[in-house]
Amino acid sequence: MENCKAGDKVKAIDIAHIDRGSKVRKKDLVVQEIPLTILLNGTEVATLLCSPEKLDFLIAGYLLSEGFINRDTKLGPIDVNPKGWYAQVTAEGKVTLFDGPARTRLVTLGCGGSLSFYRTIDAPGHELLSSSLRISCHKISEFMKEFQSRSVTFRKTGGVHACALCDENKILCYAEDIGRHNALDKIIGECFLKGLSLQNSVLLTTGRVSSEILIKLLKAKVPVIVSRSAPTSLATELAQKMGITLIGFARGTRMNIYCGESRIDTNDKTPLKT
Amino acid sequence: MENCKAGDKVKAIDIAHIDRGSKVRKKDLVVQEIPLTILLNGTEVATLLCSPEKLDFLIAGYLLSEGFINRDTKLGPIDVNPKGWYAQVTAEGKVTLFDGPARTRLVTLGCGGSLSFYRTIDAPGHELLSSSLRISCHKISEFMKEFQSRSVTFRKTGGVHACALCDENKILCYAEDIGRHNALDKIIGECFLKGLSLQNSVLLTTGRVSSEILIKLLKAKVPVIVSRSAPTSLATELAQKMGITLIGFARGTRMNIYCGESRIDTNDKTPLKT
C-alpha cells in the first residue's frame, strides 16, 4: 500500500496510452482500493475491499446490514488505523458473531464486500415494507441529475459507484465507493450513527440492482430505490414481495418502474431544468 | 423463483416506462439472477448469486479460484438441481474446507460471489508470473471488437458482465454472468475441466479490475488482462508485483497500459476492420 495516504480517493500513476498503435506516456488517475479488516469486540469479522473514505459509516452500515448488530446495539468509537487498514469497534447489547455453520450459507454479490445470509430471503413471512412516501417522477429526475453531477471521483477515474439518500425534497447524504454494496452501506451507516430514519426516503444508485441490494434496503426499511442501471430478475421479484418501489434506467426524464408504481406520481410534468 | 426456468438468461416482465411524465406499459427484459448453493463432498461451502448458465464451469472455477481445490484435485460429476438451485460435487485428492478462523480474513468485492482470502496478498514471495506471450495492440483491439459483439444478453438487458479467453490468434471461450467475478470463474472452470492451460492467454473483461480479479488471474496463471473499464489502485499495484500485464479502457483502437508493457507490441499499425 505504498503511496497510499489515508483519505486519498484517487492516485496518479504512470501509464502508456495507445491510440492506433501510437504510444504516449502520461499520468492517469486510478481509484484507490484498500483492504479494510474489521474487528468487532476483538473478533475479526470481515475484510472489505473499499474506497478509503467514510470508513466509520461503512463499518457501522456493514455490521448493521449483515446482521452483526441491530438498531438497538450501542456502538463504541470506531478506531480506524490507516497504516494497516484495520478498524476496531466495540459494541454493547445485541451482537451476533457468526461462527461455523451459520456462516456457510452466505452470499456475496456485487461490487463491494458483503456477506448476505440467504436465510433472509428464505425466512418466511417477511413483513411488507410500509411507507406513506409518494414522490413525482419529475422530482426523481431532478434528484438523479443532481446526484450524477456530484460524482467527481467517477468522472475522474470511471471506477466508483455512488449512492445518495433523499427525502421528498432534497438529497440528504451521498457516498462513493469502488463497491456498490459498500456505497449503500456507507449511507445506511451514516443514518444509523446520526439516528436518522430511512422510512420515508428514496435511495439513488449508479449501480445495478441485485437481490443483495434489495435485502439491505429491506433491513434498512428504505421504500424506494432508483438506479441508473439495470435490475436483475431476483431483485424485481424481491422488491415485489417486500413492497419496495424499484426504478431502473433512470436517465434524463426517462425511467422504468419495475414495481411499486403506486408511490410514483406521474402527474407532475414540469420540464427538467437544463 | 417462479417463472424461472433452467437455462433462461433473461426474463420478460411488465413494467411502466416513463418519459417526460408520460406512462407507457410494456414488456421489458431483465437478466436472470439465481442463488446457487454449492455442496462440496456434502459440505455447504457457499451460495453464489449468478446467471443460470455454465454452472458446472462456474462451480469448478469458483472452487479452484478460492482454494477449495487445486489443479491436481479430481472432481466428480457436478450435479446441479435447477429446481432448488443447489449443486453437489465430489472431489478426490486435495480438498480444503475452510472452517472457523481460516475463513475470517475473507474479502468480498465486485459483482459476483466470491470469497478471496486476503492472506494471498499478504503471503510473501509470490512468484512473478512468467509467460513468453507477446501480442500486438492491434490484435487486442480486434479481440475487444469481437468480444463486445458477442454479448447478446448485455445488449438485451444492460445487466451482465462478460469475460473471454484468447490465445495469440483467437477467442477460445466466452462467458457471461451478472457478476464479473463469476464470469471469470466460468472461464477458469471451463479451462480446468477441459484441461486447457492459461499460461499464454489473454483475458478480456467488460468489468472493472479490482484486486480480487488480479488474485484470480495469478492463481490461474493468466499473464494479460484487458478490460473495457477502469482498474483500481490496488489492482495496478498487484499486477506490477505479480508480473501481469494490465490494460484498461480498451475501446476502439485506444487502450491504457497500466503495467507489463513489454508483452504488448505497438508496431502493428494495421487499421481496424470496420
Q: Which residues of B are catalytic?
A: 111
Of all residues in chain B, the one with the smallest CA distance to A268 is B21
Please list every residue in chain A whose beta carbon sits closer than 8 Å to the beta carbon of residue B99. 100
Q: Smallest CA–CA separation between A27 and chain B, in Å?
A: 10
Least confident of A92-101, A167-176, B161-170, B173-182: A92-101
Query: Does residue A171 carry a pLDDT above 60?
Result: yes
Query: Does residue A7 carry a pLDDT above 90?
Result: no
Of all residues in chain A, the one with the smallest CA distance to B141 is A20
Least confident of A2-11, B33-42, B203-212: A2-11
Query: Does residue A8 carry a pLDDT above 90?
Result: no
**Strand-pair partners of A47:** A37, B107
Q: Who has greater pLDDT, B129 or B51? A: B51
Q: How confident is the model at residue B274 (pLDDT cuts 50, 70, 90)?
A: low
Sequence-distant (6+) residues with CB within 8 A of B164 are B143, B147, B150, B171, B172, B173, B174, B175, B187, B203, B204
Asked if the Cβ–Cβ distance from A35 to B232 is below 8 Å, we say no
Q: How confident is the model at residue B254 (pLDDT cuts 50, 70, 90)?
A: very high
Q: How confident is the model at residue A140 (pLDDT cuts 50, 70, 90)?
A: very high
Grid cell listed for A231: 435490475
Q: Which amino acid is at B133?
A: L
Q: How confident is the model at residue A107 (pLDDT cuts 50, 70, 90)?
A: very low
Asked if the Cβ–Cβ distance from A212 to B47 is below 8 Å, we say no
Q: Smallest CA–CA separation between B93 and chain A, in Å?
A: 22
Q: How confident is the model at residue A21 (pLDDT cuts 50, 70, 90)?
A: confident
Q: Which residue has the cell 412516501?
A: A133
Mean per-residue pLDDT of chain A: 84
Highest-scoring range by mean pLDDT, A224-238, B99-113, B114-128: A224-238
Q: Are B48 and B62 in contact (CB under 8 A)?
A: yes
Q: Who has greater pLDDT, A220 or A156? A: A220
Least confident of A102-106, B162-166, B191-195, B220-224: A102-106
Taking only the tens place, the pLDDT of each residue in A32-58 is 998 888 999 998 888 888 999 999 999
Query: Does residue A91 carry a pLDDT above 70?
Result: yes
Q: Who has greater pLDDT, A67 or A157? A: A67
The pLDDT assigned to A97 comes to 81
Asked if the Cβ–Cβ distance from A32 to B232 is below 8 Å, we say yes
Q: Smallest CA–CA separation between A250 and chain B, in Å?
A: 9
How far apart are the C-alpha atoms of B60 and B191, rounded to whole Å? 10
The mean per-residue pLDDT over the stretch A150-159 comes to: 74
Of B11, B35, B258, the CB nearest to A107: B35
Checking ipTM against 0.95, whether it exceeds it is no
Please list every residue in chain B whose beta carbon sits closer than 8 Å to the beta carbon of residue A158. 229-230, 249
Note the Cα B139 to chain centre separation in Å: 21
Least confident of A249-253, B7-11, B113-117, B141-145: B113-117
Query: Does residue B196 carry a pLDDT above 80?
Result: yes
Q: Are B232 and A9 in contact (CB under 8 A)?
A: no
The mean per-residue pLDDT over the stretch A243-250 comes to: 96
CB pairs under 8 A between A and B: 247
Q: Who has greater pLDDT, B124 or B273? A: B273
Taking only the tens place, the pLDDT of each residue in A181-208 is 999 999 999 999 999 999 999 999 999 9
Taking only the tens place, the pLDDT of each residue in B127-180 is 678 889 999 999 999 999 999 888 776 677 778 899 999 999 999 999 999 999
The pLDDT assigned to A203 comes to 98
Q: Percent of chain A scored above 70 by pLDDT?
A: 85
The pLDDT assigned to B98 comes to 67
Q: Which residue has the cell 450435479?
A: B79
Query: Does residue B253 carry a pLDDT above 80?
Result: yes
Q: Are B268 and B245 in contact (CB under 8 A)?
A: no
Catalytic residue among A50, A111, A137, A163: A111
Query: Does residue B221 carry a pLDDT above 70?
Result: yes
Which helix (H) or strand (E) covers residue B11, if one does?
Answer: strand B10-19
Residues in chain B: 274
How far apart are the C-alpha atoms of B75 and B71, rounded to whole Å? 10
Query: Does residue A222 carry a pLDDT above 60?
Result: yes
The pLDDT assigned to A40 comes to 94
Q: Smallest CA–CA separation between B199 and chain A, in Å?
A: 24
The pLDDT assigned to A270 comes to 73
Packing angle, helices B180-194 and B211-220, rounded to 10:
0
The mean per-residue pLDDT over the stretch A72-83 comes to: 92
The mean per-residue pLDDT over the stretch A145-164 comes to: 83
Query: Does residue B72 carry a pLDDT above 70?
Result: yes
Of all residues in chain A, the one with the smallest CA distance to B40 is A104
Asked if the Cβ–Cβ distance from B107 to A178 is below 8 Å, we say no
Query: Does residue A104 carry a pLDDT above 60?
Result: no
Sequence-distant (6+) residues with CB within 8 A of A9 are A31, A32, A51, A52, A53, A153, A160, A176
Provide the sign of the torsion angle of the four alpha carbons A194, A206, A212, B209, taken in this order: negative
The mean per-residue pLDDT over the stretch A211-219 comes to: 89
Q: Which residue has the cell 473514505?
A: A53
The pLDDT assigned to B250 comes to 96
